[in-house]
């Protein structure tokens, strides 16, 4: 069997099969990565830009442009803990909890909502006003456009307890907060140390009870993409199948049941089981390939 496999024609075919199998495995790997990479690549690219001061991207009451979306920015200001809100029905790592949304009053007197993080329930101490860092902070985060208003009939309320809002909707926040608002919100990624133009510095706050950070790139909604996963499996199976085919052909040659090869080969060989003695007796027959 091994001697048959080492015939030049089968070695040549093995090279072809292995190259093809490697290519298919790569395609399978690519589909596998695609299946697990639900995050929009454009979002990833935008969120990994170097942060810039928030004022250079957007100011209060300005239209939220596409350039501002997912832009990493640094906003220096002071949280207003008393105005903190919770946004229920938010998922993080497969669990449903609440976003902690705190207004950050900027140096120009306007404010931006900052999603400081996620808490599993409304009673969590990290979601309490007492846990909000005091004093000036420099928030590094990713800008997101304000969410559209919740779809409700006139007069209908969200039914949420006080201190909770259904959406990060600026038109609703305007009624709750007293500052001119930016038309988007920030997802906190980190606190940074910043020095202002007047020489004062802003230190990184020490948080006693911090809510879990919300990822800058939204988690994939559907989890693993079944179609890509399916394609990945098929590519791997095809790769394995090619190798199996090679083995089968070598075995047939070894057993002497291989049909005459080449374009002249009779496709309708009436008796494929009849051994071809020449195949078995001349080990170097492959040289005629």
Partner 1 sequence: MKAALTRYRVMAYATGVLLLLLTLHVVLQAVQKDPGQPLFDADGLGAVVPGAGAFIPIAHGWLYLIYVIVSVDLWFRTRLNFPRMVGVVLAGTIPFMSFVAERWVRHQVEPMLARESAAAR
Closest distance of CB 268 from partner 1, Å: 6
Are residues 4 and 253 in contact, defined by beta-carbon separation less than 8 angstroms?
yes
User: Residue 272 interacts with partner 1 (CB under 8 A)?
Assistant: yes
Answer for which of 16, 45, 226, 287 binds partner 1 (CB under 8 A) is: 226
x/- map, 134-173, partner 1, by CB under 8 A: ----------------------------------------
Closest distance of CB 267 from partner 1, Å: 4
- How many whole angstroms separate alpha carbon 264 and alpha carbon 109? 87
- How many whole angstroms separate alpha carbon 84 and alpha carbon 79? 9
Residue 36 has phi, psi (to 5 degrees) of -95, 0
Cβ neighbours of residue 113 closer than 8 Å, sequence gap 6 or more: 101, 102, 103, 104, 168, 170, 173, 177, 181, 182, 185, 186
Residue 108 has phi, psi (to 5 degrees) of -90, 5
Answer for which of 56, 155, 268, 288 binds partner 1 (CB under 8 A) is: 268
User: Residue 95 interacts with partner 1 (CB under 8 A)?
Assistant: no
What SS3 class is residue 75? strand
Cβ count within 10 A of residue 84: 20
For partner 1, the closer of residues 176 and 274 by Cβ is: 274
The residue range among 52-60, 63-71, 76-84, 258-266 that interacts with partner 1, by the rule CB under 8 A, is 258-266
Q: Which residue has the tokens 């089981």?
A: 273
User: Residue 234 interacts with partner 1 (CB under 8 A)?
Assistant: yes
Answer for which of 160, 180, 220, 238 binds partner 1 (CB under 8 A) is: 238
Q: Which residues bind partner 1 (CB under 8 A)?
A: 226-227, 230-231, 234, 237-238, 241, 245, 248, 259, 261, 263, 265, 267-270, 272
């Amino acid at each position: 069997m091994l001697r048959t496999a080492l015939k030049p024609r089968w070695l040549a075919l093995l090279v072809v099969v292995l190259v093809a199998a490697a290519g298919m495995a790569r395609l399978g790997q690519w589909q596998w990565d695609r299946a697990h990479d639900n995050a929009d690549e454009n979002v990833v690219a935008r969120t990994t830009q170097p942060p810039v001061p928030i004022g250079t991207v957007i100011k209060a009451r300005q239209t939220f442009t596409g350039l501002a979306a997912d832009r990493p920015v640094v906003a220096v200001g002071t949280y207003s803990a008393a105005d903190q809100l919770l946004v229920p029905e938010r998922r993080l790592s497969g669990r449903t909890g609440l976003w902690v949304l705190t207004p950050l009053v900027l140096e120009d007197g306007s404010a931006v909502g900052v999603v400081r993080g996620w808490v599993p329930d409304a009673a969590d101490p990290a979601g309490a006003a007492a846990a909000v860092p005091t004093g000036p902070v420099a928030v590094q985060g990713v800008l997101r456009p304000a969410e559209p208003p919740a779809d409700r009939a006139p007069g209908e309320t969200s039914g949420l307890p006080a201190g909770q809002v259904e959406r990060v909707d600026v038109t609703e926040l305007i009624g709750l907060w007293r500052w001119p608002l930016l038309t988007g919100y920030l997802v906190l990624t980190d606190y940074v140390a910043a020095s202002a133009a007047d020489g004062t510095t802003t230190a990184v706050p020490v948080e006693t009870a911090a809510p879990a950070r919300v990822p800058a790139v939204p988690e994939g909604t559907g989890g693993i993409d079944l179609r890509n996963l399916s394609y990945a499996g098929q590519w791997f199976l095809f790769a394995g199948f090619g190798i199996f085919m090679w083995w089968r052909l070598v075995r047939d040659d070894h057993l002497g049941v291989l049909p005459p090869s080449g374009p002249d080969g009779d496709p309708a060989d009436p008796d494929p089981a009849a051994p071809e003695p020449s195949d078995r007796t001349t080990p170097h027959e492959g040289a005629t390939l």
